[in-house]
Structure 1
Amino acid sequence: MQKLTPRFIGPYQILKRHGNVACQIALPPSLSNLHSVFHVSQLRNYIFDPSHVIESNKVQIKENLTFETLPLRIEDQKTKELRGKTISLVKVVWGGATGESATWEVQIQMRDSYPELFLSGVSVCLP
């Protein structure tokens, strides 16, 4: 299972505004298969901070415009009741070139895909 974390990339220059709701962005050649006009809800103002810069060549973007993040560790565990069914979830910390993020995942799927996460000294209840 590949997990993607929504992140913003850039900053990129706005070339042209299309009405009040869209902007054309100057994209690098590596993103040339993307349409260059975006709705303003997908854009964020950016105040420059050198610590935010991620070299775009460090992020391996695939043909379908995704990139891979790998699970680093399991941070927490909980169960959720859904229509009379109990599901065990684990909070997984994902890492990659864009930094760390955490998501709740189905425990059985994570154990099948990444059994090494469950071998450490982390106390996680397994069904």
Structure 2
Amino acid sequence: MAQDRKKSYADKRRRPIKFEVGDKVMLKVSPWKGIIRFRKRGKLSPRYIGPFKIVARFRKVAYRLSLPEERNSIHDMFHVSQLRKCLVDEATYVPFPEIEVDDKLRYVKEPIKIIDQ
């Protein structure tokens, strides 16, 4: 009886995670591997990196991601528990090289276009 009660509690919180080929996902970074591969530690270390596109699905729990060339040291097959659905809209994506930060950690605002003189 106790096992059935615990199972019913767990089943209410458990949700099936399923992705389709072509979906964008974020990849979970383990703390120890994050220090080695991403060179950051402590509170500011990344928890998830991405977004990456799913290329293929193997069985129910394994997915192959398309990783960029700088991440070729990482194997491209991941368990579903290491992935999280990316909810970011493509139109809101800002590439990082375009943002310039000075030595006091302030970014410079530049006008895009002059509307009137």
- Normalising by the smaller structure, the TM-score range is 0.3 to 0.5
**Quick one: higher RCO (CA 8 Å, sep 6+), 1 or 2?**
2
Structure exhibiting the larger radius of gyration computed from Cα positions: 2
TM-score normalized with structure 2 length: 0.40
TM-score normalized with structure 1 length: 0.37
